[in-house]
Amino acid sequence: MAEEKKLFKVTIDNITVDVEPGTTILNAARLIGGEVAPPAMCYYSKLKGSGGKCRTCLVEVAAGSTADPRPMPKLVASCRTTVMDGMIVKNITSERVIDARNGVVEFLLLNHPLDCPVCDQAGECHLQDLSYEHGKEGTRYEFNRRTFKKHDLGEYIQLHMTRCILCYRCVFTADQLTNKREHGVLDRGDHSEIATFIEKSLHNDFIGNVIDVCPVGALTDKTFRFKNRVWFTKPMDAHRDCPKCSGEVQLWMRGEEVYRVTARKDEWGEVKDTTDGKPGWICNECRFEKKEARDWVIEGPSHIDRHSVISQGHYEKLVTPKDTLPEVMGGRPPKLIMDIHDVSEVNRPEIKLSEIEGPAHSDDFNQ
Ligand code: SF4
Ligand code: FES
């Protein structure tokens, strides 16, 4: 008989869960969900080796394990620390953690420009959300922010190096999804920057995924840049038969127009698994070249779990008011008293507004 696997009990913010040995504190907290899960700006469950760079996921370990219940003296990165049986962890219940997180956000914002009003990532930026929760109103920083020479990452991807928080997610994406990594982090310390070697453009079918993993607006979609604010668009799940990727995407639409195509995201802002259980990375063709509604089979409004402005203003849970008229009419269809087209010339559908040069005037309708 197969031996039953022993699970570890870990208590995070007074909630106990059973997890497999080897699980990190962050993933254990994600099993509980909600506020108990620490924010993560560099860890990305689908990218091997990610995490340990940004320190936003710091937690306090109040008891190391049942065998050795001593607390850990320093706060630990929950994305890199694995649980022990009987471990007690504090996240939002620890003042030390909240204080440290506020400090990390202040640190991340030292060099990050406050250009949300013109940044395409605004509305779905993890740093923006984090600064609403942990940021300060003012800054104590008196020096000039970092500046960089412009780098061209090809026809589809825009790099704003000043916004980069050096989380390395894009480097891991390029490393693990493409067979020829052409970009990485160059230099060290505050000179570190994401750059392409000898300024090569990135031409790989899956390189567009760096846009989805970037937690800030450092890597954005050139085909969507400045076209619309993301909260005015309507996210819809859609798919197509794609020979290169799963073809399962999210369309960001306004009316019938497709403004942007991205991979589908889960509540942690990470690429969701597809219906066959594989990570749902999408190819460049689906992302950048299929911008017509007719290219896709639209499934319906996307469900957005993430607590962010993008979870507002879409139509998934639209409740239409009850149509009481047929009831009032005793089941009979409402009676059309008169058809406006029969009695008025105000509405003249044969006049095409888009063909009139300049603004339309009454003369245009009185010919
Ligand atoms: S460009 Fe974006 S994904 Fe890449 S390291 Fe910078 S912040 Fe991270
Ligand atoms: S998410 Fe843990 S250090 Fe960045």
- Going along the chain from its start, the domains and CATH numbers come out as 8-108 (3.10.20.740), 116-138+145-221 (3.30.70.20), 230-311 (no CATH), 327-365 (no CATH)
Helix (H, G, I), strand (E, B) or coil at 59: strand
CB proximity list for 93: less than 8 A, separation 6 or greater: 13, 14
CB proximity list for 262: less than 8 A, separation 6 or greater: 211, 212, 221, 249, 250, 252, 282, 287
Task: Mean pLDDT check: name the lowest of 24-28, 173-177, 267-271.
Answer: 173-177
The residue to mutate among 56, 165, 196, 207, having the most atoms of ligand 1 within 8 angstroms of its beta carbon, is 165
> What's the CA-to-centroid distance between 328 and ligand 2, angstroms?
60
> What's the CA-to-centroid distance between 108 and ligand 2, angstroms?
12
Element (H, E) at 102: helix 95-108
Does residue 199 surpass a pLDDT of 60? no
Each residue of 262-319: pLDDT tens digit? Answer: 999 998 999 999 988 888 999 999 999 999 999 999 998 888 877 677 777 666 666 6
Ligand 2 lined by 245 (C-beta under 6 Å): no
Does residue 40 surpass a pLDDT of 90? yes
The residue to mutate among 46, 79, 216, having the most atoms of ligand 2 within 8 angstroms of its beta carbon, is 79
pLDDT at 5: 76
Question: CA-CA distances (angstroms) from residue 4 to 1, 7, 164?
Answer: 9, 9, 45
Mean residue pLDDT across the chain:
86
Question: CA-CA distances (angstroms) from residue 221 to 5, 208, 209, 218, 272?
Answer: 45, 8, 10, 10, 19
Does residue 80 surpass a pLDDT of 70? yes
Q: How far apart are CA 44 and CA 276, in angstroms?
A: 20
DSSP 197-224: GGG-----TTTTHHHHH-SSTTEEETTT
Q: Which residues pair with 254 in a beta bridge?
A: 257
pTM for the full predicted model: 0.81
Task: Mean pLDDT check: name the lowest of 2-6, 92-96, 206-210, 256-260.
Answer: 2-6
> What's the CA-to-centroid distance between 305 and ligand 1, angstroms?
23
